[in-house]
């Protein structure tokens, strides 16, 4: 896989060695058990796969190239490059301005742009309408387009489905930048509708199987379907694609569910006329991160720490998985570990920060699971590990533990 030129501030002296050792031992990622860093009184279980993915590193490399190549020019990011506050703050400190927030609210009017200005398209991609608006201004929208190739793969699959007269069911969060972009590209070629989860998928299925009205559909799925979507015409041939940061297993479950729905309505013999197999749109990084998280869940650990941006969809899904088994703390960076006794962390269910006292159990050896989302630099995970180590003065040295990992693998 291509090696990207990204700032050294995002690299890590610890995690990079762990990842390198695992890659040497298991280059095809057949083993998703975690790596163990045993410091004696505290043990860290490091996920087999996590951190910056191909699309994120590509986006960061292009963004910093835009900065280097355009000194003195106005450089804008259409919205957040990725969902990580540290990365976005670094870009702002280098002079980049955001045109929109993560929900599409305009921060700087497009009318302020000039043709010579630089606009970076984020890794999530953007809508056809926004690309056309920028092109109308005269901005070169292709030069610094960092859209993830795996997102583009979903768009290409949607186009193919549309040309085959399928309607597109998008598994995603309809307000997320990537889903807005995928919806725009899908709706250009076919009727499209967004479902957030299996519950919404079952509601949509009721319009396929039951005698329900168009008015009911438009009320329930308001803001989530393409113009002119007709339930009596557009739910006879469907295919499922996804926001790439959703749980891959959930996307597949939703696709499998719609296949059973179409079999129920049209029969197994005619299923190919009514349902398209789209499992090839699942993102490798999201899938690997989630498989690595299932590997972590085989461990008998005391707690889990997940590092990443609070608005990161893929990171949130890792938290959802881990909290099924462990006390799980979702933090944006090391600053939220206040001290050995107090941690500030994000509650994904109440959408707010919380504080937990005595989050580190007293017994030894303490077993801590550590992972991060696809938009989180490994350097931030390093900082968390090193901070926790300061609470264990009798721990083995970092150098000796890393050496033992390298020798073992």
Q: Which residues are catalytic?
A: 178
Per-residue CA distances from 245 to 54, 262, 286, 327, 380 (Å): 13, 26, 6, 23, 20
SS (H, E, C) 174-243: CCCHHHHHHHHHHHCCCCEEEECCHHHHHHHHHHHHCCCCHHHHHHHCCCCECCCCCHHHHCCCEEEEEC
Using the 8-state DSSP alphabet, how is residue 311 labeled?
Answer: T
| Number of DSSP helices (H) and strands (E) in the chain, helices first | 14, 14
Residue the block writes with tokens 């696709």 = 255
- What are 261's two structure tokens? 């729905």
Tell me the Cα Rg of the chain: 23
Q: Which residues pair with 14 in a beta bridge?
A: none
Beta carbons of 128 and 222 less than 8 angstroms apart: no
Q: What are phi and psi of 153, to 5 degrees?
A: -60, -40
Using the 8-state DSSP alphabet, how is residue 281 labeled?
Answer: G
């Amino acid at each position: 896989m291509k090696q990207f030129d990204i700032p050294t501030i995002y690299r890590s002296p610890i995690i990079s060695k762990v990842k390198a050792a695992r890659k040497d031992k298991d280059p095809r990622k057949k083993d998703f058990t975690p790596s163990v860093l045993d410091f004696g009184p505290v043990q860290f279980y490091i996920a087999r796969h996590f951190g910056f993915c191909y699309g994120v590193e590509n986006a960061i490399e292009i963004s910093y190239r835009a900065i280097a190549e355009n000194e003195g020019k106005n450089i804008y990011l259409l919205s957040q490059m990725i969902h990580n506050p540290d990365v976005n703050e670094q870009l702002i400190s280098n002079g980049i301005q955001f045109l929109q927030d993560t929900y599409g609210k305009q921060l700087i009017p497009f009318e302020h742009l000039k043709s010579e200005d630089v606009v970076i398209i984020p890794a999530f991609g953007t809508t056809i309408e926004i690309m056309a608006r920028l092109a109308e201004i005269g901005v070169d929208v292709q030069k610094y387009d960092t859209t993830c190739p795996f997102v583009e793969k979903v768009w290409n699959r949607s186009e193919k489905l549309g040309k085959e007269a399928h309607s597109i069911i998008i598994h995603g969060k309809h307000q997320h930048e990537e889903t807005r972009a995928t919806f725009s590209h899908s709706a250009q070629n076919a009727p499209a509708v967004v479902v957030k989860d299996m519950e919404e998928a079952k509601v949509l299925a009721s319009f396929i199987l039951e005698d329900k009205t168009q008015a009911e559909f438009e009320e329930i799925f308001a803001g989530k379907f393409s113009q002119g979507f007709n339930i009596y015409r557009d739910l006879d041939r469907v295919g499922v694609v996804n926001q790439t940061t959703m749980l891959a297993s959930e996307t597949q479950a939703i696709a499998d569910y719609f296949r059973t729905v179409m079999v129920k309505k049209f029969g197994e013999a005619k299923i190919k006329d009514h349902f398209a197999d789209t499992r090839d749109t699942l993102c490798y990084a999201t899938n690997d991160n989630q498989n690595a998280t299932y590997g972590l869940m085989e461990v008998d650990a005391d707690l889990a720490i997940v590092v990443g941006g609070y608005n990161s969809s893929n990171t949130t899904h890792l938290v959802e998985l881990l909290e099924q088994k462990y006390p799980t703390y979702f933090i944006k960076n090391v600053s939220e570990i206040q001290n050995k006794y107090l941690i500030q962390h994000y509650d994904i269910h109440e959408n707010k920060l919380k504080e937990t006292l005595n989050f580190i159990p007293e017994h030894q050896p303490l077993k801590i699971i550590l992972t991060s989302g696809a938009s989180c630099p490994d350097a931030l995970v390093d900082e968390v590990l090193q901070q926790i180590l300061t609470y264990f003065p009798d721990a083995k040295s970092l150098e000796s533990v890393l050496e033992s990992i390298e020798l073992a693998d």
